[in-house]
Structure 1
Amino acid sequence: MPTISYEINKLKNDRYAIHVRLSDGLKRVFRRKTGLTINIRNWDTKSNLPKQIDEIEKLKRKKLIDLREEIYNRYDTAILEEQEINKTWLDDCVESFMGIRKTTDKDRLTKYFDYYIKSVLPYKSQKGKTKGVSNRTIQKYNTLKDKIISFEKHTNKEYYIKDVSPKFGMEFDKYLSEVEKLGESTTGGYIAALKTMCMYAGDKDEMKNHPKVKSIGVYTGERKIKTILSIKELEAIKDANILDESLQIARDWLIIGCNTAQRVSDLLPLTKENIVTIDGSEVIELTNRKTGKELYIPLFDEVKEVLNKYDGGFPPNMSDQHFNRQIKKVAKIAKLTYLEYGELNNPETKRKEKGEFPKWKLVSSHIMRRSFATNYYGKYPTPLLMQITKHATEKQFREYIHKDAMDHVKQFEYEIEKKKKEANEKSKIVKLNNVG
């Protein structure tokens, strides 16, 4: 007849884990965690069971007594069926009775990334409107998985979904910041994505995650320095005396980009075929590479002026890298040589560094979309601009151009004052006409 008892092993402070101990009479002893813990003061050393001091401890005591009876019954059945009694057999007994889910290969953090990327993200509902996430989001999770693999090598440990806790979040955050040398916004984005995935694993996939996974701290990082080309600076670029043909082409693409809000990946492939007439209006028609959605952009005068140079079409194409190099030269020729606070990549550290730099050095293809949003803001209704920039909400749009939530109120007040002045002017004209 086997002997089944309980013993406790220290965790931290006054908490102890309760283990079941099985001795089968053949000098073999097997142990298994029950999944229950207890304060040392509540443990009865005579019965090796929880003291009956409150409802919680009474429930634990009853559960352990029932588990012991279950193991005895299964033991008898196992002997009759000539099953092997070993650690695995005891694990099965405890896990089945206590409702403990077995850890599988899928529970490994890196393995769950594979499942989440292939089987969840492509079908995940986006606010009940669309199915699936963008390629950029999938790329983000693939990169995050690579960071976790590097973190496991750094700590010489394998991590499971259940290990992702607030403490894990802080340690991973520290690794990304100090070892990988990533910026706050990038690090914060990775922590938020990891938290989202692990919460999904527990809520939707019924996997065992850490009970405090929802308490993992997330943040957006420091407010980004957002460099733009002002209308005055764009005029200087437009009027600059540039003789080199390649630089002229780069300048023309830059002017188009700053007046269409397009990313370089959507801008440079444009050809004359992208110019179409809809309901009597000439527009640029394209499919946005990031969202896959069709986009129609009005032809502003600044764009038409450039297109006229190329017989109504777009300038000759050039690579993204060449474009970025050339527009810096264009900005330098246009005398954008004054210092401006911004961010530049340090070629030695390969990280962005903040500081004061000549403005021309801060000019890159990323400047075009934000320049459009900033320069046209207030001249046209924000919802119309959002149709071109493809921001989902006005809040996102205002944050993108560093406008506060009260800015639209200021605009409204300005329009009211403007209309009052116009009304006063009309009133004066009417009075003068009456006098005459």
Structure 2
Amino acid sequence: MNKAIKSTSGTIKYRLKDVNSDKETSIILDYNFGRNNRIKFSTGYKVLPKNWDKTNQRIRAVSYIENREKVNSDLRLYSFEFLSVISYLTENEKQDREILKTILEKIIRGTNEDTNIKNTFFDFADDFIERKENQAKNIGAVKLSPITVRSYKQTINRLREFDKKLNYKLDFESIDLKFYYAFLKYMEENKYAVNTIGKHVKNLITILNRATEDGVNFNLKYKHREFKPVSEEAVSIYLTKSEIKALYDADLSKTKDWELARDIFLFGYYTGQRVSDYNGISSSQIKMFDDKQVFEFKQKKTGKKLFVPVHPKLQEIMNKRYNGKLPKKLNEPDINEYIKEAGRIAKINEPIIICRTIGGKEEVKEEAKYSLIVSHTARRSFCTNAYLSKMPTIDIMAISGHSTEREFYKYIKITPQERAVKIADSAFFKN
């Protein structure tokens, strides 16, 4: 009998999926093997963070948790059986993620068959969204905006509606190309726009990728090249310098909500920031460098720290309507509603042709430009007008926070004629 000592080459650790949750959260098995190699696998058990002993990686001895000894015993058993099995693998097999996940699946799912614990797609999705929601609320390395969290929730709601309407019995195993085309058809029949459908497919793929990484999903049919978000080019406008001036000059004094939304929008335009950063700027963000006033931003989406000169127009707004202070914060939906009214008063009436696919049918209609203005139009207008004013791209990116020129050029919106005029001013065409 061979009694030689065999190495596992890895370590097991149990942790909670979300230590900041105020609800029960999943207990995750982490297996670290080799450099930068890690497998995360759900044990199927959940516990309140306050009842988890992080040091000993066990449920605390709390009297009202009746099955704590069973859970702790299972956790010990999972570790023992897993390390026992992999000790007999070849070195190559010990580095094969799929083999390791299969072993964990057999050990953990098999052991839990009599406990009725099962990670269904909707269970996992709800847990995923809860964790993302807590990420958005808590201080951490990466925060998700409430809008992104809401988008995930909308996707799961649409999938639940689909599942109920068609009695599809949706779960990880049933998510394949047949499901994909059935879901697209369902969304089209319910008059959803192409980009809305694409958003939900994209969110679904994100959730499935995470479930696969966590060792909960083993069905990879969603990775088929046809299983992808659908899209069409969206209409994204920018306001020209003359339209910005008209907006600035518009008399909105009789409707203070519109006036506030307009002023907040102009702060977005003259700083080039996202609405999450320019809506609610505080006086503590105004700094002095070499006798120049600048705004200090730490972008909520990227975490980047940026410095933007305080434009004279913003100082005028502060002095004229806010006693030298900054405008108060306004809910983003209200900004989007009121800025359209401000644009209407400013007579930003250029007709814009809109082509959209809704319910599988192309719709073409004409809308006044002011009706398309939203909070994000401010940032896009800054980038485009700064580019047309011949501000160096590297300086524009230093303000906007774009990481690459490729992303920046995808962002600006100019016509071929405007680009030709800008090119005509280059040194090549001067001689």
- Does the alignment reach a TM-score above 0.5? yes
Specify whether residues 330 and 111 from structure 1 end up closer, same or farther in structure 2 by C-alpha distance, changes over 3 A only. closer
SS at match of 1:297: strand
Q: Percent identity?
A: 28
User: Is contact 2:383–2:400 with CA below 8 Å preserved after alignment?
Assistant: yes
Match of 2:292 in 1: 281
In 1, the alpha carbon distance for the partners of 2:415 and 2:134 equals 35
In 2, the alpha carbon distance for the partners of 1:367 and 1:354 equals 22
User: Is contact 2:279–2:329 with CA below 8 Å preserved after alignment?
Assistant: yes
Instruction: For 1:40-51, list aligned pairs within 5 A.
Output: none
1:231 aligns to 2:237 (yes or no): no
Q: Identify the range of structure 1 (358-367 vs 169-178) with the bigger mean alpha-carbon deviation.
A: 358-367
Deviation track 1:368-413 (CA, whole Å, cap 9, x = no partner) reads 11111111124223233233333343222222224699x9999788
Deviation track 1:45-93 (CA, whole Å, cap 9, x = no partner) reads xxxxxxxxxxxxxxxxxxxxxxxxxxxxxxxxxxxxxxxxxxxxxxxxx
1:109 aligns to 2:121 (yes or no): yes
1:356 aligns to 2:366 (yes or no): yes
**Which of 249, 272, 276 is the equivalent residue of 2:283?**
272
**Which of 170, 186, 208 is the equivalent residue of 2:181?**
170
In 2, the alpha carbon distance for the partners of 1:158 and 1:355 equals 39
Instruction: For 1:385-404, list aligned pairs within 5 A.
Output: 385-402=396-413
**Which of 189, 192, 196 is the equivalent residue of 1:182?**
192
Instruction: For 1:331-370, list aligned pairs within 5 A.
Output: 331-342=343-354, 355-370=365-380
1:152 aligns to 2:152 (yes or no): no
Instruction: For 1:183-202, list aligned pairs within 5 A.
Output: 183-202=193-212
SS at match of 2:307: strand
Amino acid at match of 2:393: T
**Which of 264, 268, 271 is the equivalent residue of 1:260?**
271
Amino acid at match of 2:152: Y
Amino acid at match of 2:159: I
Q: How many residues align?
A: 312
Give the greater-gyration-radius structure (CA): 1
In 2, the alpha carbon distance for the partners of 1:105 and 1:173 equals 31
**Which of 385, 390, 393 is the equivalent residue of 1:382?**
393
Unaligned 5+ runs, structure 1 = 1-94, 124-129, 422-436
1:329 aligns to 2:341 (yes or no): yes
Give the superposition deviation at 1:185: 1.6
Amino acid at match of 2:243: E
RMSD, aligned α-carbons: 4.2
Deviation track 1:212-245 (CA, whole Å, cap 9, x = no partner) reads 6433431351101012211111122233455536
In 2, the alpha carbon distance for the partners of 1:402 and 1:315 equals 28
SS at match of 1:154: helix
Give the superposition deviation at 1:138: 4.1
Match of 1:426 in 2: none
Q: Identify the range of structure 1 (334-343 vs 360-369) with the bigger mean alpha-carbon deviation.
A: 334-343
Instruction: For 1:286-301, list aligned pairs within 5 A.
Output: 286-301=297-312
1:141 aligns to 2:136 (yes or no): no
Amino acid at match of 2:219: N
TM-score by length of 1: 0.59
In 2, the alpha carbon distance for the partners of 1:318 and 1:192 equals 30
